[in-house]
Amino acid sequence: MKIEIDDKVLIDTIVEKVIEKIAPLLNHNSMSNNNELWDVEKVAHYLNKSKSSIYSKTHSNSIPHLKYGQLLKFNKKHIDLWLQNPYSPELEAYNLNFNGRKGVIHK
C-alpha cells in the first residue's frame, strides 16, 4: 500500500501550527517591551542603583513614575526614554523636576 502526501499541504499545515503556537509569545514580548510596569526593585536593578536611590528620585520627582496610593510603578518605555533624553516632550505629563530648571533644552 502506497500513500501519497501532498508536500505543499503538509508544509502549510506545519507552518500554521507553528504560528499558532508562537504568536502569543511574540505578542506578549512586544507588549511587555512597550508597556511593562515595574516596581522599585526592578527599576533599581535595571539602573544599577539602590532602592533608596530610586525612592529619593521619586520623592524629588526627578524620575518618571506612577503612584497608585502608596504603590510606585515605572513604565519601562518611559524609563528608557528618560535615560536617553530626560527633557523629552513625551515625559511632560510626569512634571519632572530638573533641579529648578524647566524641561526645555537650550541650544
Indicate the domain borders of the chain.
37-94
Record the cell numbers describing residue 73, joined without a space: 510603578
Q: Where are the alpha helices (DSSP H) in 1-75?
A: 7-35, 40-47, 51-59
Task: Indicate whether this model's pTM tops 0.75.
Answer: no
Profile the chain (107 residues) by mean pLDDT over runs of 10 residues: 72 82 64 78 96 95 92 95 92 81 43
The full DSSP string for 54-67 is: HHHHHHTT-S--EE
Q: What is the pLDDT of residue 107?
A: 35
The predicted structure's pLDDT at residue 106? 37
